Amino acid sequence: MERVLVQLGERSYPVFVVSDGFASLGEIARSAKLPLTAVVISDSNVAGKYLLPVRNALRDHNIQVEAVIIPPGESQKSLRRYSNVVTSMLRKGIGRDSFVVALGGGVIGDLAGFVAATYMRGLPYVQVPTTLLAQVDSSVGGKVGIDHRLGKNLIGAFYQPQFVYANLATLTTLSKREIISGLGEVIKYGIIASETIFNFVETQLDAILASSLEALAWLIPRCVAIKADIVAADEREAGRRMVLNFGHTIAHGLEAATRYSRMRHGEAVLIGMLGETYLAVQRGLTDGSLLDRLVHLVSRLSLKVDLAHIHMRNILKPLRLDKKVRRGALTFVLPRSIGVVEFVSDIGIDEIRASIEFLRAQFIHT
């Protein structure tokens, strides 16, 4: 077991990276002095694999378990699904003497965390991420929320978990596509903060794609430690935490343009990082070597994405409602070099169009 602490004063919490399944989950929950009733929120795919061992691990420590199971997919991060989950909890008689367990990937973590933040004015919750993307990124930092039809994550809160329990064994059952999606956030950490991580992905890509526990056990705590440091310095994204948005501005436009149904979030981030690094090159902030290196790495992932049939206006329209808009200007995080980024708020629409056209040239087949 490895333990990374997210230091937020009274809201500090540990992230446990474990390789022994769910055996220690109940013990940790009791040590955290959580209530003796848990509501596990999960999707049908994840619940079929892991609900029973999670339930048993909690019950072994006298924690009663209720479950709310929803369909999988990004489309579930909606006001309608949020209302349905709350209704299910009310019908089960869940009171304030309960806690929420978010068992699943980033969608479940965001939705269940938002339910926890708002149900009866707030229940404690824990994150039990089961995808690479969730373990390295979305389960840490307390960003919870749901999507609106006009944009991604426009309804939400900052609400920290009591702890995060990342079980590496769950990653061995993921599809290659899910691992690739998680690599979008991993590579992001490499570019914004750690050439060591970037080099590791370049040299160990085959092992990572094969879900090598040795490679993942090295990688995940290091990504979590970077995010923990950033969140500790800027919990509510007033400044430094915005570096975590590298690649996400264009990514959110692509996701909204495809109605959150044609690409995984991490796939969109991979594409977004290419587009935003292209902007950095065109602005003269960095030379072309970083872009070349990133293009080569992403090409090895063989993303099955076709951008040719996505209308430009559908990509650009959601950007006007992006959470990174400040005083009418959209802020981009652009890299100068590995480990050095700059916030840029004067990117023109023609520059964004040019970056999208660059991306179209990279992804022209399905």
Q: HSE of 200 in the Cβ direction (CA atoms, 13 Å)?
A: 21
Check residue 366 and give its pLDDT: 43
Catalytic residue among 265, 267, 276, 324: 265
Higher-confidence residue of 32 and 306: namely 32
What is the rounded distance in angstroms from the CA atom of residue 221 to the CA atom of residue 179?
A: 16
Can you read off the two tokens belonging to residue 214? 């040795």
Active site residue 237: yes
The pLDDT confidence band at residue 231, using thresholds 50, 70 and 90, is: very high
Q: What is the mean pLDDT of the chain?
A: 94
Contacts of 188 (CB under 8 A, 6+ apart): 137, 244, 246, 247, 269, 273
pTM across the whole model: 0.94
CATH code: domain 246-366 is: 1.20.1090.10
Q: Are 111 and 76 in contact (CB under 8 A)?
A: yes
Provide the pLDDT confidence category of residue 316 given band limits of 50, 70 and 90. Answer: very high
2-173 and 246-366: identical CATH topology: no
Report the share of the chain in percent with pLDDT over 70.
97
The question of whether 227 is a catalytic residue gets the answer yes
Q: So where are the chain's domains?
A: 2-173, 246-366
- 342: phi then psi, degrees, rounded to nearest 5: -135, 140
Question: Would residue 143 show up in a list of annotated catalytic residues for this protein?
Answer: yes
Q: Which CATH architecture has domain 2-173?
A: 3-Layer(aba) Sandwich (3.40)
In the predicted structure, residue 207 carries a pLDDT above the cut 50: yes
Q: Determine whether 252 is an active site residue.
A: yes
Q: Is the dihedral of CA 18, 267, 236, 68 positive or negative?
A: negative
Considering 74, 178, 237, 276, which one is annotated as catalytic? Answer: 237
Q: What confidence tens digit (pLDDT) does each residue in 94-132 have?
A: 999 999 999 999 999 999 999 999 999 999 999 999 999
Please tell me the distance from the alpha carbon of residue 315 to that of residue 307, in angstroms, as a whole number: 10
